[in-house]
């Protein structure tokens, strides 16, 4: 570990005389609902979505931030508790800047953390603020909604200074303090995702043969170069992430973005204009979805867009995606068993789905194709080893959770022109061990400039891989932290490849790593929209890697990345039985004996006013979450057998069913429609 230290007692004293410090202090305490101090809580001050100062609470739950006077946004987050966020917190020289917080437990694991949206849309300003359980808002918290508290620093309060300069020693993890060797250690707490730099006296340790007393390094290390503090050893379950589906939040999010022009520069930059959307829901006459059916959108007989229905029977079709022109005289054609079925004059997505029922047998393919396309340039070095570990874990879990499906997996690692390679791939194969071995051998390197060969990777994925002729799902997880090159031929390649991916039914699911910029975020969203995918992003909650971009979303849930990826794969591959039932397979439930398989069933799906959930045994709770990740219905202690759940008050859209039992969470996807 190479440590860059910027301390000098002489310089600090000199700077204090000629450059007086005009910063002020914001401090406070963070406790739980029962009054206990919370240690290691993230407290972040930001301005215009850029972090200005950040810290974590100490053993007494106290925090302190030094910033220039001004108005900031404040976020307080802690694993297992509801994240709180305040906008426009005034920090003043004239008043006391003291702000305490009481965090409410969310009653579940990491997957229950809720983060408020970061979109600047005026129409959603009312949605930004604290998010706590309805009955759990204290008087103090209620006051904090509208009254920014401020604090005046104590007289004479000064920043602690070391007794002597610190210099690096030859060993990677050794520094010299007061002439003595100190080893820098960063213990990692897997429960809180927190790290605390401490120093161990190497000479005392060598003399006694026993570990020396550990001393905090906070007052000794003023600044440590980014990326040099050791991270926890890579293992599955460390990285945290969120999901945002613009398709499922079309009317209450994407339409607003289009209306206020927030995404116009990004549309013009890449030549993607996802505005004119048409959605088809295809079922047989028994209302069972028909998956993997070719669907075409035509204008006056001229082909406009091609797609395939997904496991829910849904196909996403686009007019004017690359030129933003509206089309007239539209027709949607679905080809089932060689027969053409039509929907004339389809309605736009903002007005709902276009339903089409046809005479057809109940049938669903068993093949699942997954390609992992991963940026392997040097800038991914801070997270690539963790991502590899997560991917290997997800591959095994996805197979275990869906044993009736035939998985094929492939990879496409990419860098850029001038590097050791542009694309290095392994083909889609049922030999998953072969894919695993290939992933394990990859490492980060090359790069040098910000843009990378994203288009080359997608060309390899879409044209170079041998995708199944029939499949319940074809998925490309695109993991990256940088945009493609801004060149005409690159843009043309991206447009052509995305069109072909939609035609083949390949769902592009981007995963944004640290360092991604806003224009790249929106391009990834365009990919997800065009191919019936979604948008995933790593978050800062894990403490791993560099700073992660705050996504343009409303509310979203923070989940362990490996859980999120398994959930996405399961949701994309789950199918209804020919009796019209959707199943949820119980994974890792302690009640299951070796060889046992428990599952729940729910029907009808889509549902209108109610649905029935059949359970194999009594469970602690069942919660319905909307597309923003907000809980909209929770039922405690459901009994074994059929349970009728009312949904007549819920808006049309997709909902996630989460069954909580014995500390494990099982999920399914429900579509609510309105006649």
pLDDT, tens digit, for every residue of 182-228?
Answer: 665 544 443 333 334 456 666 665 555 554 444 444 433 333 333 34
Please give the distance of CA 54 from its chain centroid, rounded to a whole number: 21
Same domain, 354 and 369: no
Considering the chain, what percentage of its residues have pLDDT values greater than 70?
75
Please determine, for residue 314, whether its predicted confidence score (pLDDT) is greater than 90.
yes
Considering only CA atoms, which of 252, 332, 338 is closest in space to residue 297? 332
Same domain, 276 and 201: no
Same domain, 499 and 613: no
**Residues in the chain, overall count:** 675
pLDDT tens string 65-89: 988 898 888 888 776 677 787 878 8
Mean pLDDT of 519-539: 95
Residue 329 and residue 652: Cα distance in Å, rounded?
Answer: 27
Same domain, 543 and 588: no
**Which positions ≥6 away from 603 have C-beta within 8 Å?**
576, 579, 580, 581, 582, 611, 612
Which runs of E-coded beta strand occur in 57-138?
62-67, 70-77, 84-91, 101-103, 113-115
Considering only CA atoms, which of 248, 111, 114, 245 is closest in space to residue 672? 248
Residue 181 and residue 175: Cα distance in Å, rounded?
Answer: 6
Bridge partners for 71 per DSSP: 90
Residue 547 and residue 561: Cα distance in Å, rounded?
Answer: 16
Please determine, for residue 290, whether its predicted confidence score (pLDDT) is greater than 80.
yes
Same domain, 546 and 661: no
- For the chain, give the mean pLDDT: 78
State yes or no: cis peptide before 606, omega within 30 of 0: yes
Judge residue 472's burial from the number of C-beta atoms within 10 Å of its C-beta, 0-12 exposed, 13-18 middle, 19 or more buried: buried
Residue 668 and residue 247: Cα distance in Å, rounded?
Answer: 18
Q: Give the 3-state DSSP-derived string for 393-429, with helices as H, strands as E and coil as C.
A: HHHHHHHHHCCCCEEEEEEEEECCCCCCCCEEEEEEE
Question: Residue-wise over 265-299: b if at least 16 C-beta within 10 A, else e?
Answer: ebbeebbbbbbbbbbbbbbbeeebbbbbbbbbbbb
End position of a domain, from candidates 518, 538, 572: 572
Cα end-to-end span (Å), the chain? 62
Please determine, for residue 11, whether its predicted confidence score (pLDDT) is greater than 70.
no
Q: Alpha carbon of 639 to those of 559, 593, 618, 644, 663: distances in Å?
A: 28, 20, 4, 11, 17
CATH number at residue 591: 2.60.40.3080
Instruction: Give yes or no for a contact between 361 and 283, defined as CB atoms under 8 angstroms apart.
Output: no
Q: DSSP code of 250?
A: I
In a domain, 307, yes or no: no
Please determine, for residue 127, whether its predicted confidence score (pLDDT) is greater than 50.
no
Please state which of the ranges 37-41, 164-168, 259-263, 367-371 shows the lowest mean pLDDT.
164-168
CATH number at residue 484: 3.40.50.410
pLDDT of residue 198: 54
In a domain, 534, yes or no: yes
Cβ–Cβ contacts within 10 Å for residue 323, how many?
Answer: 8
pLDDT of residue 208: 53
Sheet holding 42-47, edge to edge: 50-56, 42-47, 70-77, 84-91
**Which positions ≥6 away from 103 have C-beta within 8 Å?**
30, 31, 32, 33, 38, 41, 76, 78, 81, 82, 84
pLDDT tens string 17-39: 333 457 888 999 999 888 888 87
Residue 576 and residue 235: Cα distance in Å, rounded?
Answer: 34
pLDDT of residue 22: 75
Please determine, for residue 424, whether its predicted confidence score (pLDDT) is greater than 50.
yes
More confident residue, 50 or 661: 661
Determine the 3-state secondary structure of 106 from DSSP.
coil
Same domain, 81 and 192: no
Residue 440 and residue 124: Cα distance in Å, rounded?
Answer: 44
Residue 10 and residue 468: Cα distance in Å, rounded?
Answer: 68
More confident residue, 581 or 205: 581
Please state which of the ranges 220-229, 554-563, 601-610, 616-625 shows the lowest mean pLDDT.
220-229
More confident residue, 657 or 224: 657
Question: How many Å is the Cα radius of gyration of the chain?
Answer: 27
Same domain, 456 and 594: no
Q: How many helices and strands, by DSSP H and E, does the chain display?
A: 11, 38
Considering only CA atoms, which of 225, 208, 187, 547 is closest in space to residue 379? 547
User: How is residue 15 written in tokens?
Assistant: 């700077």
More confident residue, 203 or 159: 203
Residue 125 and residue 589: Cα distance in Å, rounded?
Answer: 41
User: How is residue 179 written in tokens?
Assistant: 């002439």
Instruction: Give yes or no for a contact between 653 and 659, defined as CB atoms under 8 angstroms apart.
Output: no
Q: DSSP for 277-328? A: EEEEEEEETTS-B--S-EEEEEETTEEEEEEE--TTSEEEEEESTTT-----
CATH number at residue 291: 2.60.40
More confident residue, 518 or 15: 518
In a domain, 484, yes or no: yes
Determine the 3-state secondary structure of 608 from DSSP.
coil
Mean pLDDT of 606-614: 91
Same domain, 467 and 450: yes
More confident residue, 181 or 64: 64
Considering the chain, what percentage of its residues have pLDDT values greater than 90?
36
Cβ–Cβ contacts within 10 Å for residue 451, how many?
Answer: 16
More confident residue, 265 or 630: 265
In a domain, 154, yes or no: no
In a domain, 153, yes or no: no
Please state which of the ranges 222-226, 419-423, 540-544, 618-622 shows the lowest mean pLDDT.
222-226
User: How is residue 546 written in tokens?
Assistant: 């560099």
Question: In the chain, how many domains are there?
Answer: 5
Considering only CA atoms, which of 281, 278, 354 is closest in space to residue 320? 278
Phi, psi values for residue 541, rounded to 5°? -65, -25
More confident residue, 480 or 106: 480
Same domain, 76 and 170: no
Measure the CA angle with vertex 330, ends 327 and 334; round to 5°: 130
In a domain, 521, yes or no: yes
Mean pLDDT of 371-399: 83
Q: pLDDT category, 372, cuts 50, 70, 90?
A: very high
pLDDT of residue 215: 47
Q: DSSP for 212-227? A: PPEEE-TTT-S---TT
pLDDT of residue 199: 60
Residue 519's domain comprises 240-245+365-572
Q: pLDDT category, 342, cuts 50, 70, 90?
A: very high
**Which positions ≥6 away from 381 have C-beta within 8 Å?**
444, 445
Residue 480 and residue 483: Cα distance in Å, rounded?
Answer: 8
End position of a domain, from candidates 546, 572, 598: 572
Residue 177 and residue 168: Cα distance in Å, rounded?
Answer: 9
**Which positions ≥6 away from 3 have C-beta within 8 Å?**
168, 175, 184, 221, 224, 225, 228
Q: pLDDT category, 163, cuts 50, 70, 90?
A: very low
Mean pLDDT of 636-662: 90
Same domain, 378 and 458: yes
Cβ–Cβ contacts within 10 Å for residue 471, how many?
Answer: 24
Same domain, 349 and 254: yes
End position of a domain, from candidates 538, 572, 606: 572
pLDDT of residue 527: 97
In a domain, 69, yes or no: yes
In a domain, 261, yes or no: yes
User: How is residue 174 written in tokens?
Assistant: 């050794």
Strand 556-560 vs strand 240-244: parallel, antiparallel, or unpaired? antiparallel
CATH number at residue 36: 2.60.40.1120
User: How is residue 191 written in tokens?
Assistant: 């429960």
Determine the 3-state secondary structure of 46 from DSSP.
strand
Same domain, 206 and 319: no
Please determine, for residue 284, whether its predicted confidence score (pLDDT) is greater than 50.
yes
């Amino acid at each position: 570990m190479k440590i860059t230290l910027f301390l000098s007692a002489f310089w600090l004293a000199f700077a204090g005389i000629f450059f007086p410090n005009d910063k002020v202090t914001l401090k406070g305490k963070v406790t739980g609902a029962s009054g206990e101090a919370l240690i290691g809580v993230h407290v972040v001050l930001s301005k215009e979505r850029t972090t200005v100062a950040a810290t974590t609470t100490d053993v007494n739950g106290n925090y302190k931030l030094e910033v220039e006077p001004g108005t900031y946004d404040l976020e307080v987050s802690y694993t297992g508790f509801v994240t709180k966020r305040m906008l426009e917190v005034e920090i003043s020289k004239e008043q006391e800047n003291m702000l305490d917080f009481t965090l409410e437990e969310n009653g579940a694991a990491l997957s229950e953390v809720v983060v408020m949206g970061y979109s600047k849309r005026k129409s959603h300003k009312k949605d930004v603020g604290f998010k706590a359980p309805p009955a759990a808002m204290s008087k103090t918290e209620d006051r904090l909604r509208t009254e920014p508290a401020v604090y005046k620093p104590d007289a004479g309060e000064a920043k602690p200074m070391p007794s002597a300069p610190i210099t690096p020693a030859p060993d990677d993890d050794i520094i010299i303090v007061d002439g003595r060797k100190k080893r820098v250690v960063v213990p990692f707490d897997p429960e809180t995702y927190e790290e605390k730099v401490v120093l161990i006296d190497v000479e005392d340790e060598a003399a006694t043969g026993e570990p020396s007393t550990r001393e905090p390094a906070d007052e000794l290390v003023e600044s440590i170069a980014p990326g040099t503090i050791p991270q926890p050893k890579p293992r599955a379950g460390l990285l945290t992430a969120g999901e945002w589906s613009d398709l499922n939040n079309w009317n209450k999010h994407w339409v607003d973005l289009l209306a206020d022009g927030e995404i116009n520069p990004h549309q013009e930059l890449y030549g993607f204009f996802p505005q004119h959307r048409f959605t088809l829901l295809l079922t047989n006459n028994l209302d069972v979805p028909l998956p993997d059916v070719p669907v075409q959108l035509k204008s006056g007989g001229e082909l406009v867009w091609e797609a395939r229905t997904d496991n829910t029977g849904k196909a996403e079709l686009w007019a004017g995606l690359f030129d933003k022109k509206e089309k007239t005289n539209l027709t949607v054609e679905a080809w089932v068993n060689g027969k053409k079925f039509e929907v004339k004059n389809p309605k736009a997505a903002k007005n709902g789905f276009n339903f089409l029922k046809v005479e057809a047998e109940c049938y669903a393919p068993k093949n699942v194709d997954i390609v992992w396309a991963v940026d392997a340039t040097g800038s991914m070095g801070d997270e690539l080893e963790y991502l590899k570990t997560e991917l290997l874990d997800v591959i095994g879990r996805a197979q275990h959770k869906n044993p009736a499906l035939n998985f094929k997996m492939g990879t496409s690692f990419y860098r850029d022109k001038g590097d050791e390679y542009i694309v290095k791939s392994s083909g889609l194969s049922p030999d998953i061990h072969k894919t695993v071995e290939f992933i394990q051998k990859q490492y980060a390197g090359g790069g040098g400039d910000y843009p990378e060969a994203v288009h080359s990777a997608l060309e390899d994925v879409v044209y170079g891989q041998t995708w199944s002729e029939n499949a319940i799902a074809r998925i490309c997880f695109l993991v990256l932290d940088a945009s493609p090159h801004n060149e005409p031929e690159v843009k043309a390649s991206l447009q052509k490849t995305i069109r072909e991916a939609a035609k083949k039914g390949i769902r592009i699911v981007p995963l944004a790593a640290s360092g991604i910029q806003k224009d790249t975020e929106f391009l990834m969203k365009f990919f997800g929209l065009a191919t019936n995918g979604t948008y995933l992003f790593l978050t800062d909650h894990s403490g791993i890697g560099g700073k992660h971009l705050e996504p343009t979303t409303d509310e979203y849930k923070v989940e362990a990345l490996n859980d999120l990826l398994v959930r996405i794969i399961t949701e994309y591959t789950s199918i209804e039985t020919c009796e019209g039932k959707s199943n949820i397979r119980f994974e890792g439930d302690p009640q299951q004996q070796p060889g046992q398989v428990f599952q729940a069933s729910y029907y009808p799906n889509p549902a209108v006013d109610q649905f029935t959930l059949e359970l194999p045994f009594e469970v602690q709770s069942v919660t319905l979450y909307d597309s923003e990740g907000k809980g909209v219905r929770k039922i405690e202690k459901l009994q074994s057998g059929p349970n009728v759940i009312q949904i007549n008050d819920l808006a049309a859209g997709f909902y996630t069913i989460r069954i909580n039992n014995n500390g494990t969470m099982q999920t399914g996807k429900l579509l609510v429609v309105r006649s």
